[in-house]
C-alpha cells in the first residue's frame, strides 16, 4: 500500500486540526475533508490548507467519504461518537491528547480499536523532540551509570495578564494541567528511559477559580495570545474553572530485569501561580556514576555532572536535522508521529509510536493523581 492511496478526514479545525492535516499531507495522504462546528471557520481553514470539503456535519462526511484515516483534533468531550463511527467504518485513528475524560472511557476506546484491528496513534508528541532522543541515547549508553532516581520540577509564575476561559480550564471538556501536560511528560519519560510506567500515587490542586469568556474564539492560540484588560473583563461573562493548575506525583518505572532492580522512582512536581520562576526547574536523572540534568519542560538543554564537574551536552546536529522540517517544532513533531503511523498502516518499517493503549495508561495515571486514592497500578 502507498500513502497516496489513503484518504483522510480531520475532525476539528483549530491548532491541532491544522497540525494533523499538514502532517498527513506531508506524508502523501489525501485529506479529503475537514470538519468543525462553524462554517465560516472550517471554510477558511479548508481553503488555506487546500482541502476540497469544509463540513459542519462530521457524521455525514464520514459516511460519504468512508476515509481510511480519521484524525481527531477536538476537545476530549467530543470524541466518543466520532471514534465509534470511525471504528464501524474500519478507519484508522489518529487522536490528540488526552484520549478521553476518564480512564474507563479511555479503556473503552482502546478496546474498540484493538478488537477492530485498526491502527491507532496517540498524539502526545513531545517524545519526538530531538533533545528527548539525545537524552535516551545518553541514558541507554549509561553515561551516568545505572539509573537510580528521577526528579522533575516545573514551576509556573503567576500570569500578570488576564487570560480567557477556554476548554482547557474545564475538566468535563478534557482540560486541566494533568490532561494537557502529563501525557507529554509521561511519553518523554518512557522514551528517554526505555522503561514503562507501572504505578503512581499523587494529588492535584485546583488552578484559578474563574475566567472571563472571549466571544467567537475557536482556536487555543487565540485564547493563549489574547490579552484582556481589567476594564474589558468587568463587562464580560465569567465562567468557573475547575481544572487543576498544580500537582505532585510519585511514579514507578519498570527496569529491565538484567539491571537487578525492580523500578526507578520518579518524583514530579508541577506548581502554578508562584511569585517568581524557579531556577532549578527541569529534569534530574540520578545515576550511580553521575547526574544528567535537562533544563526545560518539553525540550531539554542537557548537561552532565560527575565529581562536581558539569559539562554541557548540546543536542547533536544530526538529531536535530533528522526531525522533519515542515514548520515550527510543534508541527515537526506532529509530522514525526504521523510518519510512523502511516508507515505502520502501509506495512512499511516504522519506529514505535504511542497508541490508544498508552492514552488509556496515561489516563489511569491522571485519574489516580486527581482522586488521590493511593498507589494505583498501571496496565502493562
In a domain, 112, yes or no: yes
Verify cis geometry, omega within 30 degrees of 0, for the bond prior to 98.
yes
- Is residue 205 located within the same domain as residue 223? yes
- Is residue 113 located within the same domain as residue 162? no
- Is residue 316 located within the same domain as residue 250? yes
Per the DSSP assignment, residues forming a β-bridge with 253 are 197, 264
Q: Which domain covers residue 28, as residue numbers?
A: 3-126+324-355
256 has a pLDDT exceeding 80: no
**Cell numbers at residue 286, please?**
540520578
In a domain, 225, yes or no: yes
* 63: three-class secondary structure by DSSP: helix
What Rg do the C-alpha atoms of the chain give, in angstroms?
Answer: 21
DSSP 8-state class, residue 162: B
259 has a pLDDT exceeding 90: no
Per the DSSP assignment, residues forming a β-bridge with 269 are 153, 248
Residue 227: Cβ within 10 Å count? 9
Q: What mean pLDDT is reported for the chain?
A: 92
Least confident piece of the model among 14-23, 154-163, 174-183, 339-348 = 154-163
Spatial separation of the C-alpha atoms in residues 100 and 340, rounded to whole Å = 23
Strands (DSSP E) along the chain, which ranges? Answer: 7-11, 30-35, 53-55, 69-72, 92-96, 120-123, 147-157, 197-206, 210-212, 238-240, 244-254, 263-274, 282-287, 290-295, 301-306, 309-312, 376-377
Spatial separation of the C-alpha atoms in residues 107 and 102, rounded to whole Å = 9
39 has a pLDDT exceeding 60: yes
Spatial separation of the C-alpha atoms in residues 330 and 334, rounded to whole Å = 6
Give me the CATH number covering residue 17: 3.40.50.720
What pLDDT sits at residue 258? Answer: 43
213 versus 295: the higher-pLDDT residue is 295
29 has a pLDDT exceeding 90: yes
In a domain, 99, yes or no: yes
- Is residue 208 located within the same domain as residue 309? yes
Instruction: Please identify which residue in the block is written with the cell numbers 522514551.
Output: 191
In a domain, 363, yes or no: no
- Is residue 86 located within the same domain as residue 155? no
* 195: three-class secondary structure by DSSP: coil
Nearest to 68 by CA among 109, 17, 23, 30: 30
Phi and psi, residue 262, nearest 5°: -90, -30
CB 263 within 8 A of CB 255: yes
Spatial separation of the C-alpha atoms in residues 363 and 41, rounded to whole Å = 31
pTM: 0.93
In a domain, 81, yes or no: yes
- Is residue 15 located within the same domain as residue 97? yes
- Is residue 122 located within the same domain as residue 179? no
Residue range 174-197, pLDDT digits in tens:
889 999 999 999 999 999 999 999
- Is residue 109 located within the same domain as residue 240? no
In a domain, 208, yes or no: yes
220 has a pLDDT exceeding 80: no
In a domain, 362, yes or no: no
What pLDDT sits at residue 60? Answer: 98
Give every CB contact of residue 209 below 8 A, 6+ residues apart in sequence. Answer: 240, 241
217 versus 71: the higher-pLDDT residue is 71
- Is residue 330 located within the same domain as residue 319? no
261 has a pLDDT exceeding 60: no
Give me the CATH number covering residue 139: 3.30.360.10
- Is residue 333 located within the same domain as residue 299? no
Spatial separation of the C-alpha atoms in residues 225 and 235, rounded to whole Å = 20
CA angle 235, 236, 240 (to 5 degrees): 135
Contacts 24+ apart (CB under 8 A), 276-284: 276/157, 277/155, 277/156, 277/157, 278/153, 278/155, 280/153, 281/153, 281/154, 281/155, 282/152, 282/153, 283/135, 283/150, 283/151, 283/152, 284/150, 284/151, 284/152, 284/153
Residue range 289-344, pLDDT digits in tens:
999 999 999 999 999 999 999 999 999 999 999 999 999 999 999 999 999 999 99
- Percent pLDDT > 70 in the chain is 95
Q: What is the mean pLDDT of residues 189-218?
A: 90
Nearest to 278 by CA among 151, 165, 176, 189: 151
Domain count, the chain: 2
- Is residue 159 located within the same domain as residue 279? yes
CB 63 within 8 A of CB 12: no
CB 198 within 8 A of CB 378: yes
Spatial separation of the C-alpha atoms in residues 264 and 304, rounded to whole Å = 19
Spatial separation of the C-alpha atoms in residues 254 and 245, rounded to whole Å = 28
Q: What is the mean pLDDT of residues 75-90?
A: 95
In a domain, 365, yes or no: no
Per the DSSP assignment, residues forming a β-bridge with 249 are 202, 268
349 has a pLDDT exceeding 50: yes
- Is residue 96 located within the same domain as residue 156? no
Amino acid at each position: 500500500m502507498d500513502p497516496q492511496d489513503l484518504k483522510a478526514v480531520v475532525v476539528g479545525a483549530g491548532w491541532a486540526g491544522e497540525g494533523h492535516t499538514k502532517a498527513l499531507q506531508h506524508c502523501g495522504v489525501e485529506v479529503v475533508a475537514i470538519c468543525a462546528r462553524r462554517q465560516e471557520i472550517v471554510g477558511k481553514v479548508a481553503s488555506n490548507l487546500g482541502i476540497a470539503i469544509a463540513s459542519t456535519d462530521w457524521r455525514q462526511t464520514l459516511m460519504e467519504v468512508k476515509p481510511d484515516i480519521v484524525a481527531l483534533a477536538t476537545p476530549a468531550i467530543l470524541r466518543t461518537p466520532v471514534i465509534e463511527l470511525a471504528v464501524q467504518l474500519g478507519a484508522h485513528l489518529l487522536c490528540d491528547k488526552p484520549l478521553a475524560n476518564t480512564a474507563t472511557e479511555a479503556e473503552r476506546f482502546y478496546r474498540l480499536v484493538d478488537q477492530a484491528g485498526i491502527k491507532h496513534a496517540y498524539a502526545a508528541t513531545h517524545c519526538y523532540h530531538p533533545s528527548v532522543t539525545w537524552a535516551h541515547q545518553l541514558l541507554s549508553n549509561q553515561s551516568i551509570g545505572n539509573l537510580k532516581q528521577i526528579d522533575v520540577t516545573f514551576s509556573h509564575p503567576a500570569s500578570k495578564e488576564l487570560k480567557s476561559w477556554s476548554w482547557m480550564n474545564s475538566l468535563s471538556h478534557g482540560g486541566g494541567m494533568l490532561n494537557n501536560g502529563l501525557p507529554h511528560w509521561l511519553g518523554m519519560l518512557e522514551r528517554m528511559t526505555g522503561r514503562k510506567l507501572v504505578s503512581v500515587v499523587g494529588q492535584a490542586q485546583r488552578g484559578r477559580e474563574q475566567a472571563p469568556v472571549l466571544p467567537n474564539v475557536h482556536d487555543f492560540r487565540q485564547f493563549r495570545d489574547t490579552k484582556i484588560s481589567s476594564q474589558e473583563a468587568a463587562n464580560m461573562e465569567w465562567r468557573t474553572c475547575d481544572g487543576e493548575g498544580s500537582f505532585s506525583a510519585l511514579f514507578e518505572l519498570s527496569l529491565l530485569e538484567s539491571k537487578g532492580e525492580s523500578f526507578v522512582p520518579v518524583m514530579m512536581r508541577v506548581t502554578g501561580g508562584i511569585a517568581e520562576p524557579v531556577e532549578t526547574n527541569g529534569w534530574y536523572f540520578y545515576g550511580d556514576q553521575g547526574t544528567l540534568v535537562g533544563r526545560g519542560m518539553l525540550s531539554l538543554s542537557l548537561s552532565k555532572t560527575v565529581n562536581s564537574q558539569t559539562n554541557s551536552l548540546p543536542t547533536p546536529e544530526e538529531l536535530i536535522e533528522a526531525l522533519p522540517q515542515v514548520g515550527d517544532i510543534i508541527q515537526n513533531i506532529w509530522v514525526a508521529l504521523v510518519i510512523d503511523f502511516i508507515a505502520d498502516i502501509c506495512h512499511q518499517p516504522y519506529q514505535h509510536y504511542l497508541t490508544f493503549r498508552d492514552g488509556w495508561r496515561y489516563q489511569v495515571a491522571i485519574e489516580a493523581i486527581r482522586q488521590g486514592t493511593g498507589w494505583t497500578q498501571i496496565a502493562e
